[in-house]
Structure 1
Amino acid sequence: MNRRKFIQLSGMGLGAMSVPILGNATTFEKLLENPADVAMKKKMSDIALNAAKSNGATYTDVRIGRYLQQYLFTRETKVQNIVNAESYGVGIRVIANGTWGFSATSDVTPEGIKKCAETAVAIAKANSKIQTDPVILAPQKGLGEVSWKTPLTKNAFEIPIQEKIDLLMNVNNEAMKNGAGFVTSNLFLVNEQKYFASSDGSYIDQDVHRIWPTFTVTAIDKAAGKFKTRDAISSPMGMGYEYLDGLSSEKIAGPNGLVGYRNSYDMVEDAITAAKQAKEKLTAKSVQAGKYDLVLDPNHLGLTIHESVGHPLELDRVLGYEANYAGTSFATLDKWETKKFNYGSKEVNIVADKTQPHALGTVGFDDEGVPCKKWDLIRDGILVNYQAIRDQVNILGEKESHGCCYADNWDSVQFQRMANVSLEPAKEKRSVLDMIKGVEKGIYIIGRGSYSIDQQRYNFQFGGQVFYEIKNGEVVGMLDDVAYQSNTQEFWNSCVQICDKDDYRTFGSFFDGKGQPSQISAVSHGSATTRFNGVNVINTGRKIG
């Protein structure tokens, strides 16, 4: 889908939700069709590979992609919009004269694909006239014919739309019954049917599914002229509709009741809790600014990981390739080269993992045909690696891609994207209640709130959804107007305790933007509840003047 089409569709009744729609409007029934089988995709790929080689390409990869989206939007008792979108076509990337070239087409015919491959080679040759250094591509052994599919038991696209709407209406109704003045609920479904072939000898068929149920409830105090909100504490997942059946849900309890779920998600139960908490926030005490020990729930900490670790350790950003759009990184190569840079305390072990079960960024193979894997970014607090792809790892002295290349559509050029970046849980047995017992003056924070971070991903400020005051090892009540400020190195060096694997959960970013023209990707960040000592907390509600 081109960007003009996105603008058109995003204005068609989406209300306040302007979300990326990478396709053309279609019907629910057409989403369940299959326009081409694997044998046909292999035949079409070979046409592209042969055409590119005969025109001078030394390397070629072909991506035949069918990208499906279904988005449902509701508010109180009304359905605001239902979006069904499909995008189908071919993207061909080549190296000729040591230079990249790319072309894409929606004409998925032998003639259309042959012409597309020839165009990609012509573009590469034109680019080579101004490129001084040739592309150095890490070797990748051909894998033959292989496949991978998101493990699921219920294809969410096959669930009748009415059943999904009934769920959202129930969410809204229960939230309103329990004190919400307003409520919006949404369901985002994505299916990427991707076929990859390369001149290395790989033919890879993948079927990727992602789901994100979410809502926002608002409680109102009309007399005081105040309102407070609370968003869902769901995590978007690489799963099917079984995520919403609640049958295998493992509920995570905190000091003030339910704080999270694993395996599946009870959206109605969370909406009821959210409505009650939003009402409680109306009368919550405003925080006194100062230094606090912070106990951060995974549904909150995931965003901090995303912004202060995930993005600054993307190698293309470190090298300055993202400077014009999203900035650079404080975690420069000279820091990594010392092998001594204290990114955080010795408690901090952060991994990139494209194989993590049910995570958003999990696939079998990336969009360069590289098998996905897990690797260290920070070990015992020390910066040890970045995230890099086939034409980058030579800079790190490595000979194998990390397998984190991705394109959001067949007509987008694949490039380095964030893997699932997660903080490892502690090996010692420790619950949230155990952690809180050791805190004299602190704040327990749940959920993602507003945030701000500078262009080098160093100085930042993060808010949250729900805040509880901790005094002498006990939670004593709800707080409001809380945000904390720090810089990345200072913050991660203040990490003193992490709960164990029994508290480990994921946070997810479903529409993470990067690149020019901008692309989106989905990525998860796992952690257990974690304690940071002596962090500066500000009061965001204080009036100035």
Structure 2
Amino acid sequence: MDRRKFLQLSGAGIGASMLPLSGNVIAESKLTQSGMDVAVKKELADAALNTATKLGASYADVRIGRYLNQYVVTREMKVQNVVNTESIGMGVRVIANGTWGFSATNDMTSDGIARATAQAVATAKANSKYQQEPVQLAPVKGHGEVSWKTPIQKNAMQIPLAEKVDLLMEVNKAALDAGASFVNSMLYLVNEQKYFASTDGSYIDQDVHRLWSPFRVTAVDKKDGGFRTREGLGMPVGRGFEYLDGRAEDKVQSQTVLYGNSYDMVEDARLAAEQAQEKLSAKSVTPGKYDLVLDPSHLWLTIHESVGHPLELDRVLGYEANFAGTSFATIDKWKSGKFKYGSDKVNLFADKVQEGSLGAVGYDDEGVQTGSWDLVKNGVLTNYQAIRDQVHMLDQKASHGCCYADSWSSVQFQRMANVSLLPGEEELSLDDMIKDVEKGIYIVGDGSFSIDQQRYNFQFGGQLFYEIENGKITGMLEDVAYQSNTQEFWNSCSQICDKRDYRLGGSFFDGKGQPSQVSAVSHGSATTRFDGVNVINTKRKLG
């Protein structure tokens, strides 16, 4: 990496440590240039598959990828940085002597691909002497030549940079005009052009788009120097730039936030500034047991940590522990068919198809056509998330379609699907839910969290907290966090709003593995009530 590229990447500002800043820095104009012709991709893929077969591989798959990223970072009324990156290459995975082998290259010539394929086969054969059991792949029928694209209306890469900067400047100005002391706002844009081919007979071309528009507003008390923050409540999405065309008629309106399938970032920034100032004088919470009313902008993270990660099969089996630990939800609990993960109202499902979600693709990185499946049904644990070489351990015949790699240079492995909570079947609004709560707290937005290495005991904060007394919101609270364990928490679920309130949250950079990879994943829910949850006061006491 040369000095110029280092300075460009390292100056990305807040959140830069999370960014997968790989690839070459490019001019903005290259973001809209066409990638490799699909016929050329097929020719290169066939070269790899044929080489692998000739060298003794019983199975092979190839992923040719072009990964485009744009990051626009601002603070107050200045642009801090704009970074455009491109990464192009091929990864080949094989089974030889019953063992996996993998290699990758950015030498996109026939010779370069042949060398990488030979390396993958050699790696598999070398590792096979230590393999105790041969890899067992669930069968996948070849799909032939197919394609899939994120259903977008506006390709974010084609929107002029000036328009993006104007939007962020408008966001920052709205926050400052409303009393914010500081504000950062950003755009993270991703386009993955992925081609998959395998000896099963699939040639799959996919064009995946994602967008995230976070911001953070800070209000400072000039008398004592105290400060409070409020982050944006818009969510990362698998949508185009139309997501930022927020209009009042498209939104879900709750006590504190306006957003839905489109997002008014400017209005949210104005609200954030007002609410950050209100937090400066908000009452500190009294610890105790409360009924919690959790907005989807908050609950997504609790789902991610207490359901998504512990139901990844590799964590359940103890094969994976990086970043998120293993799992309390062991195979014996699933086999019993009686393990109460939650109350009868809790129905949790995994999917890779929900429109607008970060995880939505037509096919996973093993060529499996994606779908949805139950994880918890009427409160009972019914399944996990598993891929082609895992499902035989569950006596199942088909992969769940949740295998993913974050780059052509990374080997694909089991990743979290979108994991979501089904909305309630009976008509129930937020106001209906709150009016039945005698002593509670309404929580909006995600905050800090902590969870143990078995994904069981946890603590979660948030962005905004409102006290509920005798069915009414009486004012803002501060210093709130709740503690529970996964099974106790989900069994305390007593009400879920209906599908009108269902919304997606999610993570743009969910980490896993070693070497580490990131993935983007969404979690949906409607506003949900949990009874009798322990709430603590997080305010630090001096002296």
TM-score normalised to structure 1 length: 0.97
The aligned runs of 1:279-298 (5 Å cut-off) are: 279-298=277-296
Aligned equivalents of 1:442, 1:252: Cα separation in 2:
22
The equivalent of 1:387 in structure 2 is: 385
Matched, 1:221 2:209: no
Give the structure 2 partner of residue 529 of structure 1.
Answer: 527
Contact 1:296 1:530 (C-alpha < 8 Å) held by counterparts: yes
Q: Helix, strand or coil for the counterpart of 2:10?
A: coil
Counterpart residue number, 2:33: 33
Q: Which residue of 2 aligns with 1:82?
A: 82
Tell whether the 8 Å contact from 2:342 to 2:490 is kept in structure 1 after alignment. yes
Partner in structure 1 of residue 92 of structure 2: 92
Q: Distance in 2 between matches of 1:210 and 1:326?
A: 24
Q: 2:299 maps to which residue?
A: 301
Q: CA deviation at 1:306?
A: 0.2
Query: How far apart, CA to CA, are the structure 2 residues paired with 1:189 and 1:335?
Result: 41
Structure 2 residue matching 1:377: 3-state secondary structure: strand
> What does residue 61 of structure 1 align with?
61
Using the alignment, how far apart are the partners of 2:454 and 2:198 within structure 1? Answer: 36
Tell me, yes or no, if the aligned pair for 2:322 and 2:513 is still in contact at 8 Å.
no
Tell me, in whole angstroms, the C-alpha distance in 1 between the residues paired with 2:282 and 2:119: 62
Cα distance in structure 1, aligned partners of 2:182 and 2:327: 40
Which residue does the alignment assign to 1:366? 364
Whole-angstrom CA distance in 2 between matches of 1:72 and 1:46: 38
Letter in 2 for 1:429: E
Aligned match of 2:208: 208
Is the Cα–Cα contact under 8 Å of residues 8 and 81 in structure 2 kept in the other structure?
A: no
The residue correspondences of 1:122-201 to structure 2 (distance < 5 A) are: 122-201=122-201
CA RMSD of aligned residues (A): 1.5
Contact 2:386 2:414 in 1 (8 A): yes
User: In structure 1, how many angstroms separate the alpha carbons of the residues matched to 2:306 and 2:542?
Assistant: 29
Give the conservation status (yes or no) of the 8 Å contact 1:10–1:21.
no
Mapped partners of 2:113, 2:283: distance in 1: 63
Indicate conservation of the 8 Å contact 2:437/2:468, yes or no: yes
1:10 to partner: Cα distance: 8.1
Q: What are the superposed Cα offsets for residues 165-206 of structure 1, whole Å, 9 maximum, x if unpaired? A: 010011001100001000000000000000000000000000
Q: Who is 1:330 aligned against?
A: 328
**Within 1, Cα distance between the matches of 2:102 and 2:6?**
26
Q: Does residue 450 of structure 2 align to residue 452 of structure 1?
A: yes
Q: Which runs of 5+ in 2 are unaligned?
A: none
Is this contact kept in 2: 1:249–1:265, CA < 8 A?
Answer: no
Give the superposition deviation at 1:326: 3.3
SS in 1 for 2:166: helix
Q: How far did residue 324 of structure 1 move?
A: 5.2
CA distance in 2, matches of 1:251, 1:495: 26
Match of 2:419 in 1: 421
| Aligned-pair CA distance for 1:247 | 4.6
Give the distance between the partners of 2:58 and 2:8, measured in 1 at CA. 40
CA distance in 1, matches of 2:166, 2:484: 43
| Contact 2:9–2:83 (CA under 8 A) maintained in structure 1 | no
Aligned ranges 1:423-442 → 2 under 5 Å: 423-442=421-440
Please report how far the alpha carbon of residue 11 of structure 1 lies from its aligned counterpart in structure 2 after TM superposition: 5.5
Q: Secondary structure of the equivalent of 1:294? A: strand
Partner-residue secondary structure (3-state), 1:317: helix
Counterpart-to-counterpart distance in 2, 1:252 and 1:279: 24
Which structure 1 segments of 5+ residues have no match? Answer: none
Q: How does 1:511-526 map to 2 (within 5 A)?
A: 511-526=509-524
Secondary structure of 1:163's aligned partner: helix
Cα distance in structure 1, aligned partners of 2:132 and 2:338: 34
Q: Give matches, 1:498-513, under 5 Å.
A: 498-513=496-511
Amino acid paired to 2:71:
Y
Q: CA deviation at 1:544?
A: 5.7
Q: Report the counterpart of residue 116 of structure 2 in structure 1.
A: 116
Alignment check: 8 A CA contact 1:249 1:264 kept: no
Q: Does 1:105 align with 2:105?
A: yes
Look up the SS of the partner of 2:213 in the other structure: strand
1:15-52 Cα shifts (integer Å, max 9, x gaps): 33222212221111112122411100000000000000
State the SS of the aligned residue for 1:36.
coil
C-alpha offsets along residues 106-130 of structure 1, whole Å, 9 cap, x if unaligned? Answer: 0011111111111110000001011
What displacement does 1:249 show? 5.8
Q: Distance in 2 between matches of 1:435 and 1:525?
A: 21
Write out per-residue CA displacement over residues 77-124 of structure 1, whole angstroms, 9 at most, x where no aligned residue.
111111100000000000000000000000011111111111110000
TM-score normalized by the length of structure 2: 0.98
CA 1:279–1:324 in 2, change beyond 3 Å: closer, same or farther?
A: closer
Tell me the secondary structure at the aligned position of residue 169 of structure 1: helix
> 2:402 — aligned with what?
404
Amino acid across the alignment from 2:193: Q
* Larger deviation, residues 315-324 vs 198-207: 315-324
Residue matched to 2:466: 468
* Residues 52, 94 of structure 2: 8 Å contact kept: yes
Q: Which amino acid aligns with 2:516?
A: S
1:67 is displaced (CA, Å) by 0.4
CA offsets, 1:292-331, max 9 Å, x none?
0000000000000000000000001111122355311000
CA shift at 1:8, angstroms? 4.6
- Offset, 1:12: 2.2
CA distance in structure 1 between the aligned counterparts of 2:324 and 2:214, rounded to whole angstroms: 27
Please give the alpha-carbon distance, in whole angstroms, between the structure 2 residues aligned to 1:120 and 1:87. 21
